[in-house]
Structure 1
Amino acid sequence: MDWARAHDEHDPQRYDALSSFMLLAMVSHCGMLIGRDVELGRMAATVLLPAYVLSAVVGLSARSMRPYCLALSLAMTTWWLVLAWPHFANHLFLEWSVLLFLVLSQRDPELGMKAARWMIVIVLFHSGLQKMVMGQYFNGAFLAFNTATIQNFSDFMGLVLSGDEFARIREMAGKPGTGPYAVSDPLFVVMSNLVWIGEMSLGPLLLFKKTRKFAVAAAIALIVSIELGARELIFGCLFGALLAGFYPRKNALAIWPVLAGIQLLAMFAFHLFPQLRLN
């Protein structure tokens, strides 16, 4: 767990890169609200989004103003959480936490990056633990229910499940009294179990130098595979950026413009091409 205690010469650069990424990430996420939730969407269009855009433009063009822009983004995100509570995507709380770490650690960037890394370890492990305790990943029931009720999952899982099994699940459509959603297809069950096993395993593997590169690559692969069904590009790019902060010896977060660009494209595609069903 060397990154939790040792000096890392790349952390100041990682801090700057993550700060820049977060300023644009909040623009993309907030932009998704418009047209989705009537009341919150109106607030996003008139207050939240203009504030996020102002923070991004000023913070990216004037480094000396970036601390104030991060603070403004944190304040807007706090307000967003209060307004939407408890009906918001859980990665909004992840974004709020990252912004909080960045604001509180402006004089000690290494501390901020260590806090962000610890958070990812905890989030990964707890996410897998929660799925294991729930018990509905063992036989694929949770993914099957999502396949029956969410078109994005249905599009992807239709490539995995056999024709008869897929038709049975889709016909139930999540209606009360339908079931069972347990699936006998071996590949589907393996995929379902790999989700919680991967999350619980990769979190701890990020802690150790010898396993970190593998854990970063495997965690990114896991997120990509999940997003093939969920299509949550805002969350996927956010988690990818935070995972890049683990990569040893190099500032892998230098790829932040690519990730931020994908998020912005997803935001515009959400409004221009709703048939893609991006999140």
Structure 2
Amino acid sequence: MATAGKVIKCKAAVAWEAGKPLSMEEVEVAPPQAMEVRVKILFTSLCHTDVYFWEAKGQTPMFPRIFGHEAGGIVESVGEGVTELAPGDHVLPVFTGECKECPHCKSAESNMCDLLRINTDRGVMIGDGKSRFSIDGKPIYHFVGTSTFSEYTVMHVGCVAKINPEAPLDKVCVLSCGISTGLGASINVAKPPKGSTVAIFGLGAVGLAAAEGARIAGASRIIGVDLNASRFEEARKFGCTEFVNPKDHTKPVQQVCFFL
């Protein structure tokens, strides 16, 4: 592509201070270096994790910064050594990446890669310890290796997953976090036995995916718990069979679920 190897100027939502409104800025995005990929972000979602760290809770404050980790885009260019991706590929960012070489990546029980495991305090690229974002020559920090609140971003190749180009990016972008988190929590962590009863607390994107995972695992009763009853009808599509609104009961919600 015409932009390969060149700095790209584009719009990004920059967090200059903790808790302050994001500011739309023109940023410069450097070309990808070895084992990196530059991606044109077409759709990005907002996850509560972005809000949590934008408020600088539970972390070392690191600003200015570009947040975002749940998105869909197209590869614009690749750096030296990248062979599994090419310009034009449709991709999703993965904030917990895989080097594919360490013991964790080769294990069926863990995905906490020694090289690319999530690190909210790292605001630079692993390869050279520098940011690929800047404004007037001053660096803007990355977030969990993805920074999707930018029209273009640079990620380690291990934090990029190639997908079917026919998949609608405006919908599958939530696979980057919400859906994979909830589904994985059910199937890979909770592992509900076939015929079991499961309670899902919160029926947002993560909760709905957890319900779907419980359904796939064979749970016979899936109780959806949420303060917002308007979510119940949609949750049936994801496997929920019964519902509890804690506001409708005086007993602790776990007791209500137990005696259903």
Both proteins in one fold, TM over 0.5: no
Q: Name the structure where strand makes up a greater proportion of residues.
A: 2
Normalised by the length of structure 2, the TM-score is 0.24
Normalised by the length of structure 1, the TM-score is 0.23
Q: Name the structure where helix makes up a greater proportion of residues.
A: 1
